[in-house]
Chain A
Amino acid sequence: MESVHKELLKIENLVVEYTSEDNIIHAVNGIDLDILEGETVGLVGETGAGKTTIAKSILRILPDPPAKICGGKIVFQGTDILQMKEEEIRSIRGRQISMIFQDPMTALNPTITVGKQIAEAVGLHEKLTKSERKQKAIQILEKAGISRERYDDFPHQFSGGMKQRAVIAMALVCSPLLLLADEPTTALDVTIQAQVLQMMSELKKEFHTSVLMITHDLGVVAETCDKVAVIYAGEIIEFGTAEDIFDHAAHPYTLGLFGSLPDLNSENRRLKPISGMMPDPAHLPAGCKFYDRCPHASPKCRNSVPDKRKLGQSHYVRCFYSGGNV
């Protein structure tokens, strides 16, 4: 574990916009995010907060147009991905950085057997003979808890959980340094989700992979993440270790997210939702983006964007309000 604290990925001031016919949509507005080796960082936020856009920027697979990376750096192992030539980034995709999506069918070809697809992925990474590739693919399937008899099955013959497990195993087969997991268990049933997360954490340990876990589910975050970034309207409004976020959350939005969840351990029959909804990313307010939903908003919040305020070694919040349980 000598390299645990080495920095793997450093995102600095990333700005991404989408251009539509008559609007510019400000999807990502100056994000900083560090991922260390072997670490799992959760990126938590609601629909449209910019989570997936960040992940796709890292791999440079955003459709351009309409998307445009307008500024910032994404430094991976010392090199800025945004400055790389197409061949360079292509050699990183899948080998050093892999991505899995909510819907496993985005990664599987419906007309080729699952085993063959995995063997193909193996072949891209290592120079092996055909039978070695097959052997390795079978091993991977078994790691994902799928018996070798299913090698010649097509994706549609697999259940949703099996497909997702196969895809995760496939993404990790090349032992990438970083896995971008975009809502990997959102489409799955709870018992299957438990299976998939357990398998993911075993494989992650085995390959010592860092993970960017994109999710809206704080339960998944509590289960898997070392650090957590809470994102709102394209900005990280709070960042810290899992303990910082779960035990000492400071931003009113983070607290609001927790208040919105039905608590299994309490008999309380009333939720405390956040009023209103996220601002239109084409017309973002000038000051704090959370201004009109915030119970602590002051005139200052309306006009100026709060800077990072340090609360602990890695814990920071973008909020002027310092009362409450800070």
Chain B
Amino acid sequence: MSTILEAQDLKKYFKTKNGYLHAVDGVSFRIEEGKTLGVVGESGCGKSTLGRIVLHLHESTGGKLFYQGQDITHVNKPRLRQLREDMQIIFQDPFSSLNPRMSVRETIAEPLILNGKERGTDLNNEVDRVMETVGLPQRLADSYPHELDGGRRQRIGIGRALALNPRFIVCDEPVSALDVSIQAQILNLLQDLQEEKKLSYMFITHDLSVVKYISHDIAVMYLGQLVEKAETKALFARPAHPYTKALLSAILLPDIHAKKERIILKGEITSPINPPKGCRFAGRCQYATSRCEEEQKLEEVEKNHFVACCRAKELGM
């Protein structure tokens, strides 16, 4: 299996009037071909920014990015256009990410036209093929987004991302705006597409049950940094970081017999502007000690399971 995307120590700082906002602060990960990396975290943790840096929708402040072994940290325009054929994104909100003045056909055709792929009847055939792949009936080809419900709109978003036959897709909360019955349809579709086309996903979400369902590996993000990274099974079975534990314990299961002890976190995420050098979770952590004021690095606690917490080992997993 080969690595499709690798990030080393990625950083993105935004300048604000109160100082630098550390949106993404030294994040490293690797996504294997045909696999899904789930990135979980709460609002403001930098997960969407991370997805955008990967696609050069934001330029990173520091760190390195490799696509199929090639350094793509800094690329020129023609190369970027090439890359975009391979790397696409699906957005959360299918209401605002589609042009209301473009029909379904025009929306899906646009990336094909822009990249000079197809024209004339070939273009139409290609659009038909994409629509079929994402489960949009032909009769909707001339409909406009406002005529369709959220699930179908999200299918357009997926179709548009798929039009150029990408190899890697950033899915930024693709099902969060959808009702559960529709959400399940879209998740199944994303999985079918992955198997069929050997796609790799970076799946960004705040929903832990969704991320468990779809991901092979999971990275947990807190205030711009990864605090834990593991294979999905291991993360759910043996969460090691106090934040991951709290996050998992806060999931509400649709089961009345599953009453369990919740770890209710005190306080809120602190400001990402000029954050402290040490553990950023320490302020809310019940296990925090003076050692947490030092910088925490991801360390391997078992094979392929990394945790950035100096007390993880002694607290037992």
The interface of chain A, by Cβ under 8 A from chain B, is: 46-47, 145, 159-162, 189-195, 197-198, 216-223, 242-243, 246-247, 256-265, 269-275, 277
Instruction: A197 to B259: give the CA distance in the assembly, Å.
Output: 14
The interface of chain B, by Cβ under 8 A from chain A, is: 42-43, 149-151, 179-185, 187-188, 191, 206, 208-210, 212-213, 236, 246-247, 249-258, 262, 264-266, 268-269
Tally A-B pairs: CB < 8 A.
116
Interface of A is mostly: helix
Instruction: A166 to B213: give the CA distance in the assembly, Å.
Output: 34
Of A221, A246, A256, A270, which one neighbours B181 at CB under 8 angstroms?
A256
Instruction: A263 to B149: give the CA distance in the assembly, Å.
Output: 26
Whether B256 lies near A247 (C-beta < 8 A) is yes
Whether A262 lies near B254 (C-beta < 8 A) is no
Whether B264 lies near A257 (C-beta < 8 A) is no
Contacts of A193 in B (CB 8 A): 250, 252
Contacts of A221 in B (CB 8 A): 254
Given A194-B262, A222-B256, A256-B181: 12 more A-B contacts, CB < 8 Å? A190-B251, A191-B265, A195-B265, A198-B264, A216-B179, A218-B180, A219-B253, A246-B254, A247-B256, A264-B208, A264-B209, A264-B251
Whether A264 lies near B181 (C-beta < 8 A) is no
Whether B187 lies near A47 (C-beta < 8 A) is no
Instruction: A198 to B188: give the CA distance in the assembly, Å.
Output: 33
| Nearest-Cβ distance from residue B59 to partner chain A, whole angstroms | 28
Whether B256 lies near A242 (C-beta < 8 A) is yes
Instruction: A176 to B185: give the CA distance in the assembly, Å.
Output: 41
Whether A189 lies near B179 (C-beta < 8 A) is no
The answer to whether residues A264 and B212 also contact, given A190-B251, A195-B264 and a CB cut-off of 8 A, is yes
Instruction: A162 to B269: give the CA distance in the assembly, Å.
Output: 12
Using CB atoms, name the residue of chain B closest to A243.
Answer: B256
Contacts of B255 in A (CB 8 A): 222, 246
| Nearest-Cβ distance from residue A64 to partner chain B, whole angstroms | 26
Can you report 22 residue pairs joining A to B where beta carbons are below 8 Å apart?
A46-B179, A47-B150, A159-B269, A191-B250, A194-B252, A217-B252, A218-B254, A219-B252, A221-B254, A222-B258, A246-B254, A246-B256, A261-B180, A261-B254, A262-B187, A262-B210, A264-B209, A264-B253, A270-B188, A272-B184, A273-B181, A277-B151
Whether A262 lies near B213 (C-beta < 8 A) is yes
| Nearest-Cβ distance from residue A154 to partner chain B, whole angstroms | 17
Contacts of A47 in B (CB 8 A): 150, 179
Instruction: A189 to B176: give the CA distance in the assembly, Å.
Output: 12
Instruction: A256 to B185: give the CA distance in the assembly, Å.
Output: 12
The answer to whether residues A192 and B181 also contact, given A219-B252, A222-B256, A262-B187 and a CB cut-off of 8 A, is no
Whether B179 lies near A191 (C-beta < 8 A) is no
Whether A269 lies near B250 (C-beta < 8 A) is no
Contacts of B246 in A (CB 8 A): 191
The answer to whether residues A222 and B250 also contact, given A195-B265, A271-B187, A277-B151 and a CB cut-off of 8 A, is no
Of A46, A190, A198, A218, which one neighbours B42 at CB under 8 angstroms?
A190
Whether B252 lies near A220 (C-beta < 8 A) is yes
| Nearest-Cβ distance from residue A255 to partner chain B, whole angstroms | 11
Contacts of B251 in A (CB 8 A): 190, 219, 264
Instruction: A217 to B210: give the CA distance in the assembly, Å.
Output: 13
Contacts of A261 in B (CB 8 A): 180, 184, 209, 254
The answer to whether residues A260 and B180 also contact, given A191-B42, A191-B265 and a CB cut-off of 8 A, is yes
Instruction: A192 to B267: give the CA distance in the assembly, Å.
Output: 9
Using CB atoms, name the residue of chain A closest to B265.
Answer: A191
Using CB atoms, name the residue of chain B closest to A293.
Answer: B181
Whether B181 lies near A223 (C-beta < 8 A) is no
Instruction: A219 to B209: give the CA distance in the assembly, Å.
Output: 11
Whether B182 lies near A223 (C-beta < 8 A) is no
Instruction: A218 to B251: give the CA distance in the assembly, Å.
Output: 11
Contacts of B265 in A (CB 8 A): 191, 194-195
Using CB atoms, name the residue of chain B closest to A270.
Answer: B188
Whether A277 lies near B213 (C-beta < 8 A) is no
Contacts of B208 in A (CB 8 A): 190, 264
Instruction: A162 to B251: give the CA distance in the assembly, Å.
Output: 20
Closest 10 CB pairs between A and B? Answer: A219-B252, A273-B184, A262-B213, A218-B254, A260-B184, A189-B42, A46-B179, A271-B184, A194-B250, A274-B181
Of A159, A198, A220, A260, which one neighbours B268 at CB under 8 angstroms?
A159
The answer to whether residues A190 and B268 also contact, given A217-B252, A222-B254, A277-B151 and a CB cut-off of 8 A, is no
Contacts of B266 in A (CB 8 A): 145
Instruction: A275 to B184: give the CA distance in the assembly, Å.
Output: 10
Instruction: A269 to B42: give the CA distance in the assembly, Å.
Output: 24
Contacts of A246 in B (CB 8 A): 254-257
Contacts of A162 in B (CB 8 A): 268
Of B149, B150, B247, B256, which one neighbours A191 at CB under 8 angstroms?
B247
Using CB atoms, name the residue of chain B closest to A160.
Answer: B43
Using CB atoms, name the residue of chain A closest to B189.
Answer: A273
Contacts of B264 in A (CB 8 A): 191, 194-195, 198
| Nearest-Cβ distance from residue A238 to partner chain B, whole angstroms | 15
Instruction: A41 to B185: give the CA distance in the assembly, Å.
Output: 29
Instruction: A275 to B189: give the CA distance in the assembly, Å.
Output: 13
| Nearest-Cβ distance from residue A145 to partner chain B, whole angstroms | 8
Contacts of A247 in B (CB 8 A): 256
Whether A46 lies near B181 (C-beta < 8 A) is yes
Contacts of A218 in B (CB 8 A): 180, 254
Contacts of B42 in A (CB 8 A): 189-192
Instruction: A198 to B209: give the CA distance in the assembly, Å.
Output: 21
Contacts of B182 in A (CB 8 A): 46, 273, 277
Contacts of A275 in B (CB 8 A): 185
The answer to whether residues A222 and B181 also contact, given A190-B208, A261-B209, A271-B187 and a CB cut-off of 8 A, is no
| Nearest-Cβ distance from residue B16 to partner chain A, whole angstroms | 16
Using CB atoms, name the residue of chain B closest to A273.
Answer: B184
Contacts of A198 in B (CB 8 A): 262, 264
Using CB atoms, name the residue of chain A closest to B183.
Answer: A260
